[in-house]
Structure 1
Amino acid sequence: MTLPDTAPRSGRGRNVTVMVTGAGTPGAVGIIKAIRRTDAFDPHIIGVETIPDASGFPLVDTAETVSAGDDFIQDVIDVARREDVDVVFPLRPTDLQSLSEAKPRFESEGIEVMVSDPETLSIAMDTGRLYDHLVQHGHQIVPEFYRVSTCDEFVDAVRALGYPDRRVCFKRSDGNKVCFLDSEADGSNVLLDTQPNNTVSTLDGVLPIFEEIEPFPDLIVTEYLPGDEYSVDVIAREDDVPVTVSRSHDEISAGHSYMGTIEEAPELIESARQICALLGIEYNANFRFKYAADGTPKLVEVNPHLSESVTAYVGAGANIPSLSVQHALGWDLSEITVDWGTHVTHDWQEIVFRPGQKSATI
């Protein structure tokens, strides 16, 4: 999908200053372009990142490099105050908790931070806690799963889920990398904190590694879901979920969707709405679902932030980054018409920083 050039257009109403934190994260370029594309307001975009050559810096009005450690929040507040920021739009998942805890400090400056409350984040970003929470409240959308914290518990869970006759999945409860156990696979090392995703090994291949790990990681072991994968992306606030759109993932690499179709999935959209209400999710969230062998949809994970591939919807009529800013400001959202069936392909884009030049080219 190609978005139009990023030159601001006049005559769109009031000016809005948006700070994008994590301006060098995957998806930042497309999200910044989508904000530029809006007709609802004239965006002034501040890009914040902990590195000086962030991919999104060439597209923002003001680029600021901030500290990566304990001074991160204070640096962001200082920049937001100086630039008279209206809304802070976090793109990096690892920034969410600290920004959420600091929301009162931003609010005292009249700045809206687009992130859920700390307790909501702590549940949504820990798959084990999330699944437990949903089961306790009667939601059957989760796959069969076990939470384990010892090697013996891991082996018992794997066997209970049908291994070696069936494939089994596992990952860190607070992580995103999924590993598979397949009795017919070649044994291989499993490094839960590194890429690529979707490592396939055998139980015999991973046990020597787990037997040496101290302390044993908090893992979640789940049934293997062989069916199609979908995402539902939402804009939410309190009990209101004014925007929900869904898409299929036709091609995935290292956990990222590079090809998909904007496809209406009412059952998944309703599940996402219910989970939003249960968890109290605010602003943006991305729900990943996969279908089990019997055709039943199961929740894979909840990402309580804007998806890096959310710009897939822009070409289908749903500019979620722009709508999210408007919703954060309390504006009434205009009705959107989604062109269901729109097919989208993502591609890489080079950002070139030449020696001696302050700006970059795309």
Structure 2
Amino acid sequence: MKKVNIYFNRWFSVAFHYMNLIRNNEDGIPVQIFATHPDIRHMSLQGADVAGTEPALEGIEYVEFCVDFCRRNEIDIFIPRLHMLDIALHASLFDAIGTKVLVCRDLDLMEMIMDKGKFYESVKATGIMTIPDYHVVSNAAQFKEAYEDLLSKGHKVCFKPTETEGGLGFRIIDNDRSPLEELFGHVTPLISFDEAYRILSGAESFPNLMVMELLEGYEYSIDCLADEKGNLLAAVPRRKAGGRLRLMEHIPELEEVARRVAETYRIPFNFNVQMKYSGEVPKLLEINPRMSGGLHISCLSGINFPYLAVKSALGGEVQPAEFAHNVLASHVEQPLIMKINGESVVTDAVN
């Protein structure tokens, strides 16, 4: 049986787990996994059969690098993370060489998802789920007005850039914080309104910030699988349960949110919906049109999300899947040998 060649461009370290989940698939399909990253010693590459460095390029130049890599290495499936929008924009270049790209091709949707303010407006218009109270601001006066409005509604307030990934730029406004205590403690996201306003006032304008109500209930990451047409095949709500514990549990209202998102936006393959509770009401944080950073934990529910996305892209039949029971899971570090006598245990990229 011919091996399926699969390529990951620059990913997070957890791609190591995705690669092994695909490699150890339940159908016994043989795969060869290729990966690139600017740092040849990056942990994501340790799960690849063939690894190489990638250049610091953007736009069409980066896409052309990926196309050339896929062509030279006869890649069947490309699973991108870095520069997904550029890759989606030029997906036809991959079609021309016979490489299937696991990316959403709805460019308007992709651009909207990347900007949280625009995406919240879309969700508000559809009514498919509840969004937090928020304002998008780009100068200090707007920031002050937004803060005061949210405060008048009884909310604690936080803010973050509208275009960001992970927790970058996230801050919580806390006017009772003790800077001296924080100096001797852990780094925190806390900042007083006066300090934030002083910093923002130093610029005439700044990139859009979303000033919003602080949600203080459980945060759920709903890992979702859809076929190429965006039909939902699986959804697993996952939350932190203290320390390193993670709980995958059936939450009907969250599984309904996943269904509505799939029906409305038709995001193919793997995507992730992040929700956080305000009292009894789950509210949207964001949607990621890719595999989430904790997807390998959700796979302990018995659903191999990365492989099933690959199988679907290859034209295989993937049936809707449900996890039978709630699952409490955790993780430990795994030691890896990266070199023996100075020789890397991962081969160089094929030229």
TM-score category by the smaller chain?
0.7 to 0.9
Cα distance change, pair 310–333 in 1 and its aligned pair in 2 (3 A): same
What is the alpha-carbon distance in structure 2 between the residues aligned to residue 291 and residue 77 of structure 1? 42
Distance in 2, matches of 1:245 and 1:210, equals 39
Number of the residue aligned with 2:112: 123
Q: Does 1:148 align with 2:137?
A: yes
1:154–1:74: structure 2 CA closer, same or farther, 3 Å change rule? same
Q: Partner residue of 1:88?
A: 78
Which of residues 77, 94, 97 in structure 2 aligns to 1:106? Answer: 94
Contact kept, 8 Å, 1:186 with 1:202, in 2: the verdict is: no
Distance 2:57 2:30 in 1: 33
2:177 aligned partner: 185
Aligned partners of 1:47 and 1:62 also within 8 Å: yes
Q: How far 1:147 moved relative to its partner?
A: 1.2
Take 1:290 and 1:353, find their aligned partners in 2: how far apart are those partners?
A: 39
Identity of aligned residues (%): 25
Deviations 1:139-179 (A, max 9, x none): 44111111112211111111111269642111001124321
Helix, strand or coil at the partner of 1:57? helix
**Distance in 1 (alpha carbons) for counterparts of 2:118 and 2:332:** 34
Matches within 5 A, 1:245-324: 245-251=236-242, 258-293=244-279, 295-324=280-309
Q: Give a deviation string over 1:16-61, Cα, whole Å, max 9, x none.
A: 21111225x2311111111111022111111122222121333322
Equivalent residues in 2 for 1:13-162, closer than 5 Å: 15-23=3-11, 25-40=12-27, 41-70=29-58, 71-90=61-80, 92=81, 94-117=82-105, 118-162=107-151
Aligned partner of residue 161 in structure 1, secondary structure:
helix
Q: Pick from 312, 317, 324 the counterpart of residue 327 of structure 1.
A: 312
Tell me if the contact between 2:225 and 2:269 (Cα under 8 Å) persists in the aligned partners: yes
Relative distance call for 1:183 and 1:164 in structure 2 (3 A) is farther
Residues 132, 212 of structure 2: 8 Å contact kept: yes
Structure 2 residue ranges without an equivalent (≥5): 181-185, 347-351
1:150–1:29 distance in 2 versus 1, CA, 3 Å? same
CA distance in 2, matches of 1:198, 1:281: 34
The equivalent residue for 1:4 is none
Distance 1:280 1:120 in 2: 10
Q: Larger deviation: 54-63 or 146-155?
A: 54-63
Report the CA distance between 1:216 and its aligned residue: 1.8
Pick closer, same or farther for the CA change 1:239–1:205 going to 2, 3 Å.
same
Report the CA distance between 1:107 and its aligned residue.
0.7
Q: Identify the range of structure 1 (71-80 vs 351-360) with the bigger mean alpha-carbon deviation.
A: 351-360
Letter in 1 for 2:139: T
Distance (whole Å) between structure 1 residues aligned to residue 77 and residue 231 of structure 2: 19
1:345 corresponds to: 330
Larger helix percent: 2
What is the deviation of 1:351? 4.7
1:26–1:52 CA distance, 2 compared to 1 (3 A)? closer
Q: How well do the aligned residues superpose, as a CA RMSD in angstroms?
A: 2.5
| 3-state SS in 2 of match to 1:313 | helix
| Residue matched to 2:349 | none
Counterpart in 2 of 1:3? none
Relative distance call for 1:317 and 1:109 in structure 2 (3 A) is same
Q: Which residue type is aligned with residue 197 of structure 2?
A: L
Contact kept, 8 Å, 1:230 with 1:289, in 2: the verdict is: yes
Mapped contact 1:143–1:299 kept (Cα < 8 A): yes
Aligned residues: 333
1:201 CA displacement: 1.4
Q: Contact between 2:235 and 2:322, CA under 8 Å: does it hold in 1?
A: no
- CA 1:168–1:197 in 2, change beyond 3 Å: closer, same or farther? farther
Q: Residues 350, 102 of structure 1: CA spacing in aligned structure 2 closer, same or farther, 3 A cutoff?
A: farther
Q: Distance in 2 between matches of 1:216 and 1:182?
A: 22
Q: Does 1:175 align with 2:164?
A: yes
Q: Is the 8 A contact 2:219 2:240 kept in 1?
A: yes
Specify the SS of the correspondent of 2:151. coil
Cα separation, partners in 2 of 1:148 and 1:141, compared to 1, 3 Å: same
Aligned to 1:231: 221
Whole-Å separation in 2 of the counterparts to 1:108 and 1:273: 33
1:207 matches 2:192 = no
